[in-house]
């Protein structure tokens, strides 16, 4: 169990809803991922959607999960703020995944626009989930702005590269032990998600790794298992790697072994 | 006396079905709410790209690919029997990428090989690209995938040729006729209630009040007139942000498409969509730079939850719908299956999968 504000959450997997082969595949993937939070990109073109009672949006709203609307595709603080307000009206939630993109090709977040938009949205009463890089100072500024959760990337969106800079993610975890931290973007394989959980992250958010799989619902199940086991491992207390061998077998009862210097020295 | 059939909706599915039924000996009446000259049907927003693998292979259901692969031969059989010429491109299709997107292209290729190992596909380098499509000799594409069994149909020409065949062969067509209700053995227009032995509902998105699970998926397409470009193969550009395809329409017209949005809006093409499509096509060939924008089209494709076609049926009523982005690709094969089902032929399990008993 973990929480964001007063909201208690069991599943540590958040799922994005873009680019699934069909709504059916998306619904099955959500079910098999066990997720309780899905992100939904609020594109301006489809913003008329929920208002018009259109079917895809009705289906999304009817799912038994919390919707975390997302300001994907916004390139300035102002645009993100406008989109966030629109999302609040449409989805009746004060949660917002804040994305302010600085570069079209890599979709790298713009930290300056991000902090600016976060300040405004916190003032406006939003629970802001900022999608950020793994930079410690940007993270600090976002917390200063009033964010209560951080979502650093593992690697660029959709790249599937995994944890490209685990040291930076570790540093964030150790500096902000009380802040819910969610690795967002760059997760390509279940082992990546597990690695993030083993670092002590509270959750992971992913999309493409599931939606682009040959069998998305099966991949969603694989991620659910990886996230759960990674967390279980973290909570159980992981051993630290050492640069030398340590015998795991006791020496007692080995009287008949010829004496050597090899073991346990 | 021969059996009577009503077909409601004159998109590609309705037109093709009406003709096929007529050729099976039915007395066929076709209804459409638009005038005969209208381009409002979703089928006129199609590019006519017959690409089961490159369009569908990325993420689609294998069933869609298997059905789609039967489409080309069906069009090939039909077109020579139509009274107007319709060009069918049978020389394959090409997916191409610039340097930054080559890894995405490689992934597509690996996936094609993994999922559809029996379907031919070829990895091509710049030399081979310019052999296959001389117009791309100077294009600077780093790599591509050639899919020899794909192609295209001149979709507008096909629509007109089907319409002409109707009048030549005695299909009674009521265009500009609003149909209020489509039920078993009955078609209710604003004027009267008509009875038929069989009613076929091919209204697409307009049937959504009768097919609760149907939704609209908005698509936007641009037709450009580019006499300086001589593309022979339909082309798909693999691009991180702006994937597009370009399909020759004949007379130096190219269809550039298509966006795919979960929206049921029928509003005009947005500036954003227009810019994305045009920006991408601009980079494919210098000849597109001074091409004229011929037509901007937006429409809603009818789709079910799994994006696969369905035929809902009960005695006296068949509702064929959900062709999604694949009207020209899937209409021939779905209609073929429907007619075989109607004739009482035994279908395979795969084929039976598209039939849903109990149309309402």
> Chain A contacts of B100, Cβ < 8 Å?
105
> Chain B contacts of A45, Cβ < 8 Å?
218, 261, 263, 265, 270, 272-273
Stronger pLDDT, B350 or A205, i.e. the higher one: A205
Which of these ranges, A138-147, A190-199, B52-61, B137-146, has the smallest mean pLDDT? B52-61
Of A56, A105, A212, the CB nearest to B262: A56
Identify whether the C-beta of residue B138 lies closer than 8 Å to the C-beta of residue B156.
Answer: no
User: For residue A34, what pLDDT is reported?
Assistant: 94
User: For residue A62, what pLDDT is reported?
Assistant: 79
How far apart CA B248 and CA B89 sit, in angstroms, is 9
- pLDDT above 60 (res B58): no
Classify strands B244-250 and B292-303 as parallel, antiparallel or unpaired.
unpaired
- pLDDT above 80 (res B131): yes
Q: Which residues pair with A101 in a beta bridge?
A: A109
Stronger pLDDT, A257 or B254, i.e. the higher one: B254
Nearest CA in chain A to B241: A105
3-state helix, strand, coil in chain A (%, to 5): 40, 15, 45
How far apart CA A163 and CA A148 sit, in angstroms, is 23
Of A25, A27, A49, the CB nearest to B263: A49
B208 token code pair: 């959504």
B341 token code pair: 């089902």
Chain B residues with CB-CB distance to A under 8 A? 58-61, 100, 111, 114-115, 208, 214-218, 240-241, 261-265, 270, 272-273, 303, 305-308
Chain A residues with CB-CB distance to B under 8 A? 19-25, 27, 43-46, 48-49, 52, 54-57, 59, 104-105, 211-212, 214
Distance from CA of B247 to the nearest CA of A (A): 23
Average pLDDT over residues B67-85: 93
Average pLDDT over residues A210-215: 90
How far apart CA B319 and CA A36 sit, in angstroms, is 37
Side-chain half-sphere of A234: how many Cα atoms within 13 Å? 19
- Tell me the pLDDT tens digit for each residue of A5-59: 888 999 999 999 988 888 889 999 999 999 999 998 876 555 454 455 467 777 7
> Chain A contacts of B111, Cβ < 8 Å?
214
Identify whether the C-beta of residue A44 lies closer than 8 Å to the C-beta of residue A19.
Answer: no
How far apart CA A21 and CA B60 sit, in angstroms, is 6
Nearest CA in chain A to B104: A159
Local confidence band at A256 (pLDDT 50, 70, 90 cut-offs): low
Distance from CA of A23 to the nearest CA of B (A): 5
| Sign for the pseudo-dihedral over CA of A45, A47, A52, A54 | positive
User: For residue B197, what pLDDT is reported?
Assistant: 96
Which of these ranges, B25-34, B78-87, B239-248, has the smallest mean pLDDT? B239-248
Does A23 contact B263 at a Cβ distance shorter than 8 Å?
A: no
Local confidence band at A158 (pLDDT 50, 70, 90 cut-offs): confident
Average pLDDT over residues B318-339: 94
How far apart CA B126 and CA B223 sit, in angstroms, is 27
How far apart CA B242 and CA B262 sit, in angstroms, is 17
CA angle at residue A139 from A232 to A181, to 5 degrees? 15
Does B215 contact A55 at a Cβ distance shorter than 8 Å?
A: yes
Give the H or E element holding residue B172.
Answer: strand B172-174
User: For residue A95, what pLDDT is reported?
Assistant: 94
User: For residue A19, what pLDDT is reported?
Assistant: 85
Average pLDDT over residues B130-134: 93
Ramachandran quadrant class, B322 (left: phi over 0; alpha: psi -120 to 50; beta: rest) = left
Active site positions of A, annotated = 97
Stronger pLDDT, B18 or B57, i.e. the higher one: B18
How far apart CA A225 and CA A33 sit, in angstroms, is 8
Of B100, B263, B305, the CB nearest to A45: B263
Report the residue of A30, A53, A54 to disrupt the B interface, i.e. the one with the largest count of B CBs within 10 Å.
A54
Q: Where are the beta strands (DSSP E) in A53-202?
A: 66-70, 95-98, 127-132, 151-152, 182-184
Q: pLDDT exceeding 90 applies to what percent of chain B?
A: 60
Distance from CA of A93 to the nearest CA of B (A): 21
Does A105 contact B115 at a Cβ distance shorter than 8 Å?
A: no
How far apart CA B129 and CA B139 sit, in angstroms, is 10
> Chain B contacts of A212, Cβ < 8 Å?
58-59
Does B61 contact A105 at a Cβ distance shorter than 8 Å?
A: no
User: For residue A258, what pLDDT is reported?
Assistant: 57
- pLDDT above 60 (res B337): yes
- Tell me the pLDDT tens digit for each residue of B203-247: 999 998 899 889 988 889 999 999 999 999 999 998 877 778 999
Local confidence band at A90 (pLDDT 50, 70, 90 cut-offs): confident
Give the H or E element holding residue B181.
Answer: strand B179-183
Between helix B155-169 and helix B12-23 the angle, nearest 10°, is 30
Q: Which of A109, A102, A183 shows the shortest CA–CA distance to A141?
A: A109
The complex's ipTM works out to 0.79
How far apart CA A128 and CA A98 sit, in angstroms, is 6
Local confidence band at A260 (pLDDT 50, 70, 90 cut-offs): low
Average pLDDT over residues B286-311: 91
Distance from CA of A251 to the nearest CA of B (A): 51
> Chain B contacts of A44, Cβ < 8 Å?
272
Of B58, B265, B308, the CB nearest to A48: B265
Q: Which residues pair with B199 in a beta bridge?
A: B6, B317
Of A21, A49, A212, the CB nearest to B307: A21
Report the residue of B238, B305, B308, B309 to disrupt the A interface, i.e. the one with the largest count of A CBs within 10 Å.
B305
- pLDDT above 80 (res A249): no
| Residue located via tokens 């209409």 | B331
- pLDDT above 80 (res B53): yes
Nearest CA in chain B to A46: B263
Q: Which residues pair with B181 in a beta bridge?
A: B188
Distance from CA of B349 to the nearest CA of A (A): 21
Report the residue of B58, B59, B239, B268 to disrupt the A interface, i.e. the one with the largest count of A CBs within 10 Å.
B59
Average pLDDT over residues B265-294: 89
> Chain A contacts of B308, Cβ < 8 Å?
22
pTM above 0.80, yes or no: yes
User: For residue A257, what pLDDT is reported?
Assistant: 56
- pLDDT above 60 (res A265): no
Nearest CA in chain B to A54: B264
Q: What's the mean pLDDT when you consider all of chain A?
A: 87
Residue B276: other Cβ atoms inside 10 A: 18
Does B218 contact A45 at a Cβ distance shorter than 8 Å?
A: yes
Q: Where are the beta strands (DSSP E) in B192-290?
A: 193-195, 198-201, 215-225, 235-237, 244-250, 253-257
| Residue located via tokens 């809902």 | B312
Give the H or E element holding residue B122.
Answer: strand B122-124
- pLDDT above 80 (res B26): yes
- pLDDT above 50 (res A264): no
Which of these ranges, A116-120, B17-21, B248-252, has the smallest mean pLDDT? B248-252
- Tell me the pLDDT tens digit for each residue of B175-195: 999 999 999 999 999 999 999
């Amino acid at each position: 169990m973990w929480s964001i504000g007063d909201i208690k959450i069991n599943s540590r997997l958040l799922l994005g809803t873009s680019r699934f082969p069909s709504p059916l595949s998306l619904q099955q993937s959500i079910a098999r991922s066990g997720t309780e939070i899905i992100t939904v990109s609020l594109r301006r073109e489809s913003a008329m959607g929920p208002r018009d009672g259109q079917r895809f949006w009705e289906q999304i709203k009817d799912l038994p999960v919390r919707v975390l609307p997302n300001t994907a595709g916004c390139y300035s603080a102002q645009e993100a703020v406008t989109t966030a307000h629109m999302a609040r009206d449409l989805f009746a939630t004060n949660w917002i995944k804040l994305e302010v993109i600085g570069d079209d090709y890599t979709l790298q977040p713009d930290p300056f626009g991000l902090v600016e938009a976060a300040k405004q949205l916190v003032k406006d009463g939003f629970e802001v989930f900022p999608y950020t890089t793994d930079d410690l100072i940007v993270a600090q500024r976002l917390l200063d702005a009033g964010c209560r959760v951080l979502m650093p990337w593992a690697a660029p969106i959709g790249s599937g590269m995994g944890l490209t800079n685990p040291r930076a993610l570790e540093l964030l975890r150790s500096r902000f032990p009380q802040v819910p931290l969610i690795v967002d973007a760059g997760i390509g394989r279940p082992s990546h998600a597990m690695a993030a959980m083993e670092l002590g992250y509270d959750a992971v958010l992913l999309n493409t790794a599931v939606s682009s799989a040959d069998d998305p619902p099966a991949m969603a199940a694989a991620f659910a298992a990886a996230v759960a086991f990674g967390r279980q491992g973290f909570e159980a207390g992981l051993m630290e790697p050492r640069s030398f061998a340590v015998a795991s077998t006791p020496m007692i009862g080995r009287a008949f072994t010829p004496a050597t210097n090899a073991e346990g020295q | 006396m021969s059996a009577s059939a009503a077909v409601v909706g004159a998109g590609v599915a309705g037109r093709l079905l009406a003709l096929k039924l007529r050729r099976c000996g039915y007395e066929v009446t076709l209804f459409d709410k638009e005038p005969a000259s209208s381009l409002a049907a979703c089928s006129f927003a199609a590019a006519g790209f017959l690409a089961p693998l490159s369009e569908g292979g990325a993420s689609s259901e294998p069933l869609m690919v298997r059905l789609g692969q039967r489409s080309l031969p069906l069009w090939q059989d039909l077109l020579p029997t139509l009274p107007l010429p319709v060009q069918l491109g049978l020389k394959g299709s090409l997916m191409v990428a610039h340097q930054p997107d080559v890894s995405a292209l490689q992934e597509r290729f690996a996936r094609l090989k993994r999922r559809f190992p029996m379907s031919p596909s070829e990895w091509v380098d710049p030399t081979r690209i310019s052999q296959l499509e001389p117009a791309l000799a100077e294009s600077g594409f780093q790599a591509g995938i050639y899919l020899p069994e794909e192609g295209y149909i001149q979709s507008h020409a096909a629509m007109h040729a089907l319409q002409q065949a109707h009048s030549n062969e005695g299909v009674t067509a009521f265009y500009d006729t609003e149909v209020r209700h489509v039920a078993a053995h009955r078609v209710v227009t604003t004027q009267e209630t008509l009875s038929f032995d069989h009613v076929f509902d091919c209204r697409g998105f307009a049937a959504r009040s009768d097919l609760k699970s149907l939704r609209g998926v908005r698509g936007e397409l641009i037709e450009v007139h580019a006499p300086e470009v001589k593309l022979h193969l339909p082309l798909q550009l693999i691009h991180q942000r702006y994937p597009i395809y370009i399909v020759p329409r004949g007379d130096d017209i190219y269809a550039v498409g298509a966006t795919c949005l979960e929206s049921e809006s029928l509003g005009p093409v947005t500036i954003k969509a227009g810019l994305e499509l045009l920006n991408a096509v601009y980079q494919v060939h210098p000849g597109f730079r001074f091409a004229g924008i011929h037509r901007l089209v937006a429409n809603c494709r009818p789709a079910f939850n799994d994006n696969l076609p369905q035929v809902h049926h009960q005695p006296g009523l068949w509702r064929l719908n959900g062709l999604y982005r694949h009207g020209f690709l899937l209409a021939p094969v779905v209609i073929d299956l429907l007619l075989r089902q109607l004739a009482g032929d035994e279908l395979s399990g795969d084929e039976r999968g598209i039939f849903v008993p109990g149309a309402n």
